[in-house]
Structure 1
Amino acid sequence: MSLAYDEIKGKVRQFIMQEEHTNFAEMAKMVFFYQYQQNSPYRKYCRKRRVHPTSIQDVTQIPPVPIQAFKETVLVCSPEEELERIFMTSGTTNPDKRGKNGHRDLEVYDLSATIFFKENMMPDVNNMKMVILFPAGKEMPHSSLAHYLQLMKNTFGTEDSEYVASEKGFDELRLKEILAEAENKDEPVFLLGATFSFIHFLDTCKEEKLTFSLPAGSRVMDTGGAKGTSREVDPLELKRQLSKLFSIPEYACGNMYGMTELSSQLYDQTLRLQGPKTLKKPPHWVKTTIVDPETMKEKPEGETGIIVHYDLANFHSVAAVMTEDLGVKEGDSLYLLGRAEGAEVRGCSLAMESFLQADQGTAP
């Protein structure tokens, strides 16, 4: 049996849209079967790990690809010339080696992004004025974040939504004007952008002794990405500072966790639950586990390990991705603990070494 692209895309799309989702394992096995058939580098890696679709009894037996592998080869299930978009990492660590995730089309990516964004960041309202602290998608066509933020603006933003950042820089003066207008008109505003933009704005406002009193319903969402671009701020401290700067509740300061190599995002539950918990929750089409990177065995709840995502929306590349992030599981959600160090990094390196050996081999 073989699965065609349109068939597997339709099944994944249907799974994302359905309200009851008890058959994740069945859907994950189907996606794995498709990827094993169509993604040659991934098939070689699975064979080296002695894993075949017929041997899978549990989702966690599907071999996760180390995130560094996306820098070595294009892990897609079709020829590159058929891809509508290739998203690429920023290359902060190594500009010559950027991670790539190819998409034959963006229908499932966009569906996944908008559904879960609405549930977590706009559960109480359908549209509001959005201010984007990041360049537009046309300026950064290979940035998944630029596409994501533009998608949210186009889907949920009112007509007066706008960008205050471009490749030329961050227009802090315009942002201050918008915030003053929101105060005067008593109209809530939603600020979205990369973490480093918010940190820069916090520094400016502190220097100028500026604060704002945004209307009720206003909110903020940062998306990570501070490393290597500005001073780093603890996520909880960042929430406190943003809350104080804009005079909004801390629960209205949300955070999105995503990466180029995935097609889905995880969110704080603070705004949806209007509470203090900073647990990151995946959507029902993503299973997130915490593993020991050397043994690849799942860790018990409450123990620290490497985060592995099984993202069905990533159906056209590799659904199972081993990150280099540490986390602790709590129920179906997790706490992020930052980048791996020491033994965890060595474990990730072993997985990457195994992938390179498989990719350089001769297995078809």
Structure 2
Amino acid sequence: MQLQQELKAFISQPSSTDEQFNTMALKLFQFQYEYNQPYRKFCRKRRVLPRSIKHFTEIPPVPIDAFKLTTLSSFPIEETSAVFMTSGTTNQDRRGKNYHLDLELYDLSMKTHFKSFMMPELDNMKMFILFPTQDEMPNSSLAHYLHIAKETFGTSDSKYAFTNEGFQIKTLIDDLQLAEEKGEPIMLIGATFSFIHLLDECKKNNIQFKLPPNSRIMDTGGAKGRSREIELTEFKEKISELCEVPLEMCVNMYGMTELSSQIYDRNLFDYFHQNEIHTTKVSPHWVKTVIMDIEEMREQPLGEKGLIVHYDLANINSVSSILTEDIGVQGDGGFYLLGRAKGAEAKGCSLAVEQFMASSQNAKGAL
């Protein structure tokens, strides 16, 4: 497909201007409006047509709950090769589904941004992965993401800390102690809840590590009810202390099943590029993250909190513009993630979902 080839070339560029991003975003919107029927109905309900807009921020963002309500796919799902599903419920019909015609753009997006923000100075290193394999969780976007990380950037002796019997935490502790003895830098990478279990196990048994210089840690996903909750800053401090890995080498990755790209803390990037170290999160050049006043549908000024909207050009088959339920604030060189929407912000999310449902129910004949 011509558009996919153009997007691959765009992502492969080292950077892009605002004008280049805008041009590509409008082209992708035209494609999704034409071929993604539920999205087209939603846009018409909002009175937005491709010919009526000039800037990507005018593209109607779809609330993430819409991925649970309908099939957002520009191709028939029987032609798609992968589907990633949200977790958190045993009801298959209430899980958000993001269909992919293929994973070329997803994988390219992952490798490109991961290299820049997690391994800017290395081609590979030994990884310990604190999450199940993609064979065990074939519909998990995180399982696939970690598989690509291991296969592309991990050494041949990289390994998973999970088996079909669960989290092998004692084996992981032995492996970390061995890496410490060998002086071999490693990357600990995986789900936040797994790291919290590691913290608790080590505290209970009075275990402390001193991982070799240049080791690094990447967590993602939060606890999500699977372990005790820890605020992100406190979590980073505790895992840094446990492993004696400097804070600038500890990175949180922000990702979503509904997206095809990931967003990282910029501290490790700044450290290796000898910049002043910031703790904001940075989107790749093919993603624009905008902090929105959802009632006015306008971008918030610097320092004002709002709902986070992502415009992800790697999300070719579903929708590029996604309204999250996360609150953020724009900072220097990126944005800060403040937490989940509640109160007035949550009402804004609910209103968007109501509008999407109304478009699905009332515009069936508007093709």
Alpha-carbon RMSD: 1.3
SS of the aligned residue for 1:360 comes to helix
Find the aligned partners of 2:121 and 2:13 in 1 and give their Cα distance: 21
SS of the aligned residue for 2:299 comes to coil
Q: TM-score, normalised by structure 1?
A: 0.96
CA contact (8 A) 1:328 1:336 kept: yes
2:136 is aligned with 1:135: no
Per-residue deviation, 1:298: 1.3
Structure 2, unmatched stretches of 5+, are none
Find the aligned partners of 1:95 and 1:200 in 2 and give their Cα distance: 27
CA contact (8 A) 2:280 2:332 kept: no
Q: Which runs of 4+ in 1 moved over 6 A?
A: none
Distance 1:195 1:94, change over 3 A: farther
Task: Return the match for 1:14 from 9, 13, 27.
Answer: 9
Distance 1:20 1:203, change over 3 A: closer
Report the number of matched residues. Answer: 359
Task: Return the match for 1:69 from 53, 66, 69.
Answer: 66
CA contact (8 A) 2:218 2:253 kept: yes
- CA-to-partner distance for each residue in 1:6-52, whole Å, 9 max, x for gaps? 11101110100112412100000000000000000000000000000
Q: TM-score, normalised by structure 2?
A: 0.96
Which residue is equivalent to 1:3? none
Which residue is equivalent to 2:260? 263
Distance 1:277 1:93, change over 3 A: farther
- CA-to-partner distance for each residue in 1:43-70, whole Å, 9 max, x for gaps? 0000000000001111100000001000
SS of the aligned residue for 1:327 comes to strand
Find the aligned partners of 1:136 and 1:235 in 2 and give their Cα distance: 25
What does 1:63-142 align with in structure 2 at a 5 Å threshold? 63-92=60-89, 96-142=93-139
2:275 is aligned with 1:277: no
Equivalent AA in structure 1 for residue 321 of structure 2: A
CA contact (8 A) 1:294 1:348 kept: no
Which residue is equivalent to 1:245? 242
Name the stretch that deviates more: 262-271 or 13-22.
13-22
Name the stretch that deviates more: 71-80 or 219-228.
219-228
Equivalent AA in structure 1 for residue 126 of structure 2: K
Which residue is equivalent to 1:200? 197
Equivalent AA in structure 2 for residue 13 of structure 1: K
Equivalent AA in structure 1 for residue 316 of structure 2: F
Find the aligned partners of 1:354 and 1:93 in 2 and give their Cα distance: 26
CA contact (8 A) 1:91 1:97 kept: no
Equivalent AA in structure 2 for residue 310 of structure 1: Y
SS of the aligned residue for 2:65 comes to helix
SS of the aligned residue for 1:329 comes to strand
Identity of aligned residues (%): 55
- CA-to-partner distance for each residue in 1:283-317, whole Å, 9 max, x for gaps? 00001101112221211111000000000000111
SS of the aligned residue for 1:173 comes to helix
Find the aligned partners of 1:106 and 1:142 in 2 and give their Cα distance: 13
Find the aligned partners of 1:186 and 1:234 in 2 and give their Cα distance: 31
CA contact (8 A) 1:304 1:326 kept: yes
What does 1:1-364 align with in structure 2 at a 5 Å threshold? 6-22=1-17, 23-92=20-89, 96-274=93-271, 277-361=278-362, 362=364, 363-364=366-367
Per-residue deviation, 1:167: 4.3
Equivalent AA in structure 2 for residue 19 of structure 1: P
CA contact (8 A) 1:39 1:78 kept: yes
Name the stretch that deviates more: 247-256 or 324-333.
324-333
CA contact (8 A) 2:68 2:93 kept: no
